[in-house]
Amino acid sequence: MTKGRTIRTPENRCAHCDYMLDSCTATEPLDSPSEGDLTVCINCGGFLEIRADWTTEALNPNTLTEIASEDPQLYAHLIEFQAVVRSTKKSRPTGSDKPCIQEGDRHE
């Protein structure tokens, strides 16, 4: 997948906010998403991990801690993207979507 290219994925719900996800966009040149790749929900900014079938699951908080210590640049990139999503969310009209779920919250 080329940088910035959006591809369709199977419909699945964000584990943090229940938003229906159906695509992903690469921030780095990739052929396609792979199991274990990280993503950020475009609705709430929650961290997600890609499964083998291209659906997502909540990123384990321990994994995020490991990323912060082992790859600070990747961690900074994730936090930056999350901040962009959340700032965009705040600029939307009230009631346009579900409330933004904070990092670490999980939809059970």
Q: How far apart are CA 97 and CA 38, in angstroms?
A: 23
Residue 60: the pLDDT is 93
CA angle (39 as vertex; 59, 63 as ends), nearest 5: 30
pLDDT score recorded for residue 3: 55
pLDDT at 4: 66
Is the Cβ–Cβ distance between 27 and 81 less than 8 Å? Answer: yes
Dihedral over alpha carbons 54, 59, 60, 61 (to 10 degrees): 170
Please give the helix or strand (H or E) that residue 58 lies within, else none: strand 56-58
pLDDT tens per residue across span 28-42:
766 678 899 888 999
* C-alpha to C-alpha distance for 21 and 46, rounded to whole angstroms: 12
Give the chain's residues under pLDDT 50: 1-2, 93-108
Question: What is residue 30's predicted lDDT score, i.e. its pLDDT?
Answer: 65
pTM of the model: 0.74
